């Protein structure tokens, strides 16, 4: 899928319908810079993209000050103010020697991890980091441990408007900014063009909706396979989970199917929450984090919530042809 990233200092959009008609499927707009909004506010571009149904998000240009957390707060505030939350918010972390801005590798990694974790703390399930392939090679963001991270890499080649590949770069790339010399009907000025292998417009919630029915069912059955191995004692209208082999206990599969309303109504709240979360996913609703939160209370003590949610994410992605792996 093809997207653009734009900023009001360098481009003018005079026909958003033409932009959409040209096949643009998503847009990032520069929204913030350092400790405040960008010099040219993103309002007009965000409003224009939304008016024709192009998913739009904001990116932030990183400065050395204020703190990474303070800068992430600024970006989150602008995303919320504009409702620009249909594309993952992005951190533009790059050198700008002309202004004296140069990041040492360790300094860039520290800033990036703190910034992106702060963004996730604002409730964004997927976040992005942008830089050139040469800088990404030094910073290695794929090993920053940020769940849901989209890596957005710039590599132009001769920069003639065509996609000339990544030039031998071996790191994971989810979105490739392949030229700054693109031309798009409806936009005055040259435009950065991006080709996405991983859809940056998906939120955590609609990630599961993007799976096919068979893929959703595959994930559903894996979790149900865990649930049906649980054992219960029936006490009146209540089922109490117990260890396998407990006298009088029956396996869930012998009581009723876990799809059945009877069993769902009889289950303890924690198990019923799991069944409800999985049923939501099977309908293309809910989220992996909601499923993880429901399952955690019945897993061994000490299970890490984020690690478990990420394991579910990887499990789902492994069965999906729509979310390529790096």
Helix or strand (DSSP H, E) at 30: strand 26-33
Of 201, 226, 242, the position where a domain reaches its end is: 201
Helix or strand (DSSP H, E) at 194: strand 191-196
Helix or strand (DSSP H, E) at 255: helix 252-255
Residues 148 and 292 in one domain: no
Residue 117 resides in a domain: yes
Residues 56 and 196 in one domain: yes
Residue 323 resides in a domain: no
Residue 284 resides in a domain: yes
Residue 325 resides in a domain: no
Residues 284 and 171 in one domain: no
Residues 45 and 133 in one domain: yes
Domain span including residue 218: 207-318
- What's the CATH number where 107 sits? 3.20.20.80
Residue 324 resides in a domain: no
Length of the chain: 326
Tens-level pLDDT at each residue, the chain (326 residues): 899 999 999 999 999 999 999 999 999 999 999 999 999 999 999 999 999 999 999 999 999 999 999 999 999 999 989 989 889 999 999 999 888 999 999 999 999 999 999 998 887 878 999 999 999 999 999 999 998 799 999 999 999 999 999 998 989 999 999 999 999 999 999 999 999 988 787 543 344 444 445 555 555 555 555 566 667 787 776 677 777 778 888 776 665 444 444 455 556 666 667 767 766 665 555 666 677 777 777 665 666 666 666 666 665 555 433 333 22
Q: What are phi and psi of 55, to 5 degrees?
A: -60, 135
Residues 211 and 309 in one domain: yes
Q: What are phi and psi of 210, to 5 degrees?
A: -75, -15
CB atoms closer than 10 angstroms to residue 78? 23
Residues 11 and 88 in one domain: yes
Helix or strand (DSSP H, E) at 155: none
* Cα 232 to Cα 244: distance, rounded to the nearest angstrom: 8
Of 168, 186, 201, the position where a domain reaches its end is: 201
Residues 89 and 179 in one domain: yes
């Amino acid at each position: 899928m093809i997207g653009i990233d734009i900023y009001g200092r360098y481009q003018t959009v005079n026909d958003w319908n033409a932009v959409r008609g040209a096949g643009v499927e998503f847009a990032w707009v520069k929204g913030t810079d350092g400790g405040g909004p960008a010099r040219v506010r993103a309002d007009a571009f965000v409003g224009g993209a939304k008016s024709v149904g192009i998913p739009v998000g904001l990116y932030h240009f990183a400065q050395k000050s204020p703190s990474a957390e303070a800068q992430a707060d600024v970006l989150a505030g602008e995303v919320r103010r504009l409702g620009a939350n249909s594309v993952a918010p992005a951190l533009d972390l790059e050198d700008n020697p002309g202004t004296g801005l140069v990041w040492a590798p360790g300094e860039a990694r520290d800033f990036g991890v703190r910034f992106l974790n702060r963004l996730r703390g604002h409730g964004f399930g997927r976040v992005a980091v942008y830089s050139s392939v040469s800088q990404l090679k030094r910073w290695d963001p794929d090993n920053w441990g940020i769940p849901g991270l989209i890596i957005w890499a710039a590599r132009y080649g001769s920069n003639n408007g065509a996609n000339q590949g990544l030039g031998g770069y071996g790191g994971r790339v989810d979105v490739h900014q392949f030229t700054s010399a693109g031309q798009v009907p409806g936009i005055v000025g040259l435009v950065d063009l991006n080709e996405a292998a991983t859809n940056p417009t998906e939120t955590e919630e609609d990630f599961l909706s993007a799976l096919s029915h068979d893929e959703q069912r595959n994930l559903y059955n894996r979790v149900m396979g865990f649930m049906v191995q649980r054992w219960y004692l029936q006490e009146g209208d209540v089922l109490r989970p117990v260890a396998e082999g407990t006298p009088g206990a029956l396996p869930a599969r012998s009581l009723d199917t876990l799809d059945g309303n009877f069993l769902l109504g009889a289950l303890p709240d924690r198990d019923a929450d799991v069944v409800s979360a999985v049923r939501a996913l099977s309908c293309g609703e809910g989220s992996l984090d909601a499923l993880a939160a429901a399952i955690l209370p019945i897993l061994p003590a000490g299970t890490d919530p984020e690690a478990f949610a990420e394991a579910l994410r990887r499990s789902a992605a492994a069965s999906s042809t729509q979310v390529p792996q790096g």
